[in-house]
Structure 1
Amino acid sequence: MVDDLKKGLEGVLVAESELSSIDGDEGRLIYRGYTIEDLARGASYEEVLYLLWHGHLPAEDELESFAAALTEERAVSDDVLATMERLADADEQPMAALRTAVSMFSATEPESDAEADDLEASLRKGRRITAKIPTALAAFERYRLGEEPIDPDPDLGLAANFLYMLTGEQPDDVAAETFDQALILHADHGLNASTFTSMVIGSTMADIYSAVTGGVSALSGPLHGGANQDVMEVLMEIDESNKDPLEWVEEATDEGRRIPGFGHRVYNVKDPRARILQERSKELAAEGNSKWYDITTTIEEYLTEEKGLVEKGIAPNVDFYSGSVYYQLGIPIDMYTPIFAMSRAGGWIAHVLEYQEDNRLIRPRARYTGPENQEFVPLEER
């Protein structure tokens, strides 16, 4: 009997999960039964973390306690800061710096002797990782600019505090809400490459630091986490060309050039997260320069209406609008994927701990296609 080969494990069921569900034909995403639209417009990122980790939306006292615990864990060690400074001086890539930082967090873990199967201890460790990632990332960027890191502000939520540590200025309500919403939209998305990587590592009962470090590594690949940076670079290229956006995109598509931010392995229609970020992009445009919103909507209208990509199952994904939203918030382009990781770490942790509740080592097989019956020749005779 010849087993069917599923390259990339496409369509293969490997686990059951209560965390998130995607309907690619309807353009629907839910976290534990709640639509992404309701969560993005009505909840905070901290509430969504609580939902993913604890199975229900928190009551006010639960959220207050949970947010306070996250706030208390934001500080990173002097060793992590010194390493971020050295990596910044060495012109290291931000995702590589983040990978190193997450791995280093375990050195100061107060529960380092906890048993591997102590899921409550692993969740507390995951909370510390999630709280510290924004601090390490912001410090790395500050060092790249030749400036000192800014200490976390305990009066700010996770999203607003990151923007503050990054820029040195407290964000206004629109900026803080927009970034918080972006974190919610990226928190989880089924068994994508980075989440599955984290689960495979977790299935060995390695610690949560190892699992999240693996997730960061998988997300750093250009086929997974880098499309929003690609989108923004294209938008800037259009702006610098001094051409009408419609003229530019017509020429680019006629030349066979692929426009990033379109198409998804799961969605056959417009990504629901893209719809939400498009609204935020419009709000940011109303507060200042509408250039980026105008360019993105022009591209979308041309590719969907003139080129008919939607009929082919190719529509805007979340990256198409997140890039310009981040840019309008003053975030450096090469920090977009690390921000993705900052958000998705919550989902990685949730999936690892859910899988470990009924753990089985993930061990797929490969079909051997090499030679058979080779005759061994001793070294002196070769």
Structure 2
Amino acid sequence: MEKNNKYCEITKEILDLTTLCKKNSAIAPEYYSQYDVKRGLRDVNGKGVLTGLTEISEIRASMKDGDRTVPCEGKLFYRGIDIEDIVRGFVREKRFGFEEVTYLLLFGELPDKAELEQFQKMLAGYRTLPTNFVRDVILKAPTPDMMNTLARSVLTLYAYDDKANDITVPNVLRQSLQLIANFPVLSVYGYHAYSHYQGGQSLVIHTPKAELSTAENILYMLRADSKYTEMEARILDVALVLHAEHGGGNNSTFTTHVVTSSGTDTYSTVAASLGSLKGPRHGGANIKVIQMFEDMKRSISDWKDEDEVRAYLDALLNKKAFDRAGLIYGMGHAVYSLSDPRANIFKSFVERLSEEKGMLEEFRLYSMVERLAPEVIAGERKIYKGVSANVDFFSGFVYHMLDLPLELYTPIFAIARISGWSAHRLEELINDGKIIRPAYESVAKHRDYVPLGEREPAFAAENVK
């Protein structure tokens, strides 16, 4: 697609202004400790600053041992119920779990059989876009970033809603259910538009089926032949369940609370949350994991050689491999220390899928890195809490085995997390909290206003050093 260079060109004027911006925006690092600023709203041990209360989910990474707080195996609870028990329950009964979990997050109770069937019918009924929306919005100006496409679609839906600005609970619940139902459609159709207009692929638009689960519909709509195995659908469903919610403090959910507290509409709130999730430090992390492993497989000659794998991990930490960022992607978490329960749950399903796909050797490489990386990190850096594989470590591998395009990795996260965002938006509205406004301390020196004619040029050499 041809673009106007005016919108892409970095001119000398921009570079000069960048220099000035950096000069006058850099804050001395010592100020943060001097003013006891909790950067990232976390302390040195990674514990988040308490900014609110929630009944939607709980993350447990430590426990009391007398007067001490010590790390423990990670636990995640949805509405007080252990996520391991939830997954075990629907897997044992050979059911899809995402719709049940969405009901639990929104309404605080597990549905009985009749309630679940009615809820699934409600979502199926909402899984319809406005007339000509696909033609007029999704197929117009497709972009290679599906998160931007998804956010644009969400913001445009505002124009089709006669009650877009109504933030009463019944209306917001209605809007939330429609977005939960339509996120798979918006994401998959957005990808097909991109792959057709920018990738030269055939344009495929499959209408979702009412009788299929969310996970099944994603695969049904995405694949040209609409075919998928039961194992593929079930492991994608587990992925959606594990990504549906993760406490009120994660970046995108906190964004949901912040923007909701301003009193704005649902579409603006969800678009803001999507913008947060898009970032590689949040929802885009599993893409980095896949890209890191692809580089690793090219760089080492024997995937079974621990010494060779260890040397590559050491090179990663020392900024000598992959993107030279000094990170082993998929390892460590802002909250969990000894383990991420979502990664533990996922791993057993990942192994089974790797058997079905004939990719056991690659799974064993992932398992080796999972085991070696904490040792390598501990040998190189001071660690204030434990380091373990997080859910992104395995989710990218799952999506790779499902032959999902990289462009859809983060939107699938959003398809799951819209359930949690919606629950938190409703919780914020129901509890009628104040607008969220944390404090920032100004460290700028006061100075006199200088009349225009008496000012020295900002770009004089001595002023921009």
TM-score (norm 2): 0.77
Question: 1:317 Cα shift?
Answer: 0.3
Alignment of 1:274 with 2:319, yes or no, is: no
Correspondent of 2:237 among 167, 180, 186: 180
Distance in 2, Cα, partners of 1:159 & 1:250: 36
Point out the more displaced range, 99-108 or 178-187: 99-108
Q: Who is 1:226 aligned against?
A: 284
Count matched residues. 376
Between 221-230 and 261-270, report the one with greater CA deviation. 221-230
Q: 1:75 aligns with which of 128, 139, 143?
A: 128
CA contact (8 A) 1:280 1:325 kept: no
Provide the rounded CA distance (Å) in 2 between the counterparts of 1:122 and 1:369. Answer: 41
Percentage identity across aligned positions? 36
Matched position secondary structure for 1:206: coil
1:105/1:129 contact within 8 Å kept: no
1:159 matches 2:215: yes
Q: Distance in 2 between matches of 1:198 and 1:146?
A: 37
Aligned to 1:16: 53
Question: Over residues 132-178 of structure 1, what are the superposed CA-to-partner deviations in whole Å (9 max), with x where a residue is unaligned?
Answer: 11001111222213322111111201111111101132322111111
Alignment-mate amino acid for residue 15 of structure 1: G
How many angstroms apart in 1 are the aligned matches of 2:39 and 2:245? 23
Let me know the Cα RMSD of the aligned residues.
2.1
Match of 2:363 among 287, 293, 297: 293
Asked if residue 65 in structure 1 is aligned to residue 118 in structure 2, the reply is: yes
| Equivalent residue, structure 2, for 1:29 | 76
CA distance in 1, matches of 2:384, 2:40: 25
Q: Are the structure 2 counterparts of residues 147 and 41 from structure 1 closer, same or farther at C-alpha, using a change threshold of 3 Å?
A: farther
Asked if structure 2 preserves the Cα contact closer than 8 Å seen for 1:29 and 1:35, the reply is yes
Q: Hey, what's the Cα distance between the residues in 2 that align with 1:146 and 1:194? A: 34
Aligned to 1:345: 418
Match of 1:147 in 2: 203
Q: Cα distance, 1:314 vs. partner? A: 0.8
Q: Distance in 1 between matches of 2:308 and 2:222?
A: 33
Contact 2:310 2:376 in 1 (8 A): no
Local SS of the residue matching 1:39: helix
Corresponding residue of 2:10? none
| Residue matched to 2:159 | 107
Structure 1, unpaired ranges of 5+: none
Kept after mapping to 2: 8 A contact 1:95/1:216: yes
Q: 1:241, CA displacement in angstroms?
A: 4.2
Give the C-alpha shift of residue 311 in structure 1.
9.6
- Which of the residues 434, 453, 463 maps onto 1:360? 434
Q: How far apart are the structure 2 equivalents of 1:67 and 1:141?
A: 25
Counterpart of 1:303? Answer: 373
What are the Cα deviations for residues 24-44 of structure 1, in whole angstroms up to 9, with x where unaligned?
232111011111111223241
Instruction: Map 1:194-213; keep pairs closer than 5 Å.
Output: 194-213=252-271
Per-residue CA deviation, residues 305-362 of structure 1 (Å, 9 max, x unaligned), is 6766899611100000111111111211231111111111111111111011122111
Residues 1:377 and 1:306: Cα distance change in structure 2 (over 3 Å): closer
Q: Which residue of 1 aligns with 2:64?
A: none
Cα 1:9–1:305 shift into 2, 3 Å: closer
Asked which structure has the greater CA Rg, the reply is: 2
Paired residues of 1:39 and 1:184 also in contact (CA < 8 A): no
User: 1:187 touches 1:345 (CA, 8 Å); kept in 2?
Assistant: yes
The answer to whether the 8 A contact 1:87-1:97 is kept is no
Task: Classify the secondary structure of the residue corresponding to 2:139.
Answer: helix
Q: Deviations over 1:54-113 (max 9, x none)?
A: 11011111111111111111122323444322343xx43111111111112222225436
1:2-51: CA deviation from partner (whole Å, max 9, x where unpaired): 97422222232111100111112321110111111112232410011100
8 Å CA contact 1:80–1:101 kept in 2: the answer is no
Amino acid in structure 2 at the alignment position of 1:297:
S
d(CA) in 2 for partners of 1:164, 1:230: 26
CA contact (8 A) 1:277 1:325 kept: no
> 1:375–1:37: structure 2 CA closer, same or farther, 3 Å change rule?
same
Alignment match, 2:87? 40
Give the aligned residue type for 2:356. E
**CA distance in 2: counterparts of 1:370 and 1:185, whole angstroms:** 44
Gaps of 5+ in 2: 1-33, 43-47, 62-70, 91-96, 196-200, 320-326, 456-465
Distance 2:114 2:254 in 1: 33
Could you tell me whether the CA contact under 8 Å between 1:134 and 1:342 is conserved in 2? yes
Query: Structure 1: which amino acid aligns with 2:112?
Result: A
Structure 2 equivalent of residue 379 of structure 1: 452
